Amino acid sequence: MTNPAVREHQSPLEAALLDVYATLAALLVASDEQYAALVARDHARLESVTRQQERLSSRLERAEAKRANLLDQSIDLVGNTLNFLQRLVTVQSPAYGARGLAQSRQSLLVDGRA
């Protein structure tokens, strides 16, 4: 599927997505095998493929749960980063006047509400 050099630089979310993709591909192959077994009326092979599909379905459920968890963590991280950057950019630096640190002033025209 992918070479090892590419996998070394993957994020955990990318790896989880690849696991989901690989499991879905395996389920598609198993469904073709199931159809072939059904047409051939091969009950033993049909049972074997059905058990394989059950295992793959469980694997897909775990892979999807992992992917969702990593996606939630990624969203939280992005939210925290945005909050940090917003606080960093909107911090008002103290104003210095002739007498040292000046107190914050409000404009009656803009800030005052009567």
Per-residue pLDDT of the chain (114 residues; tens, 9 = 90+): 555 555 678 899 999 999 999 999 999 999 999 999 999 999 999 999 999 999 999 999 999 999 999 999 999 999 999 999 988 888 666 666 666 665 555 555 555 554
Domain ranges of the chain: 4-101
Cα Rg of the chain, angstroms: 29
Query: Is the model's pTM score more than 0.85?
Result: no
Q: Write the DSSP string, 65-88.
A: HHHHHHHHHHHHHHHHHHHHHHHH
Q: What is the DSSP letter of 92?
A: P
Structure confidence at residue 88 (pLDDT):
86
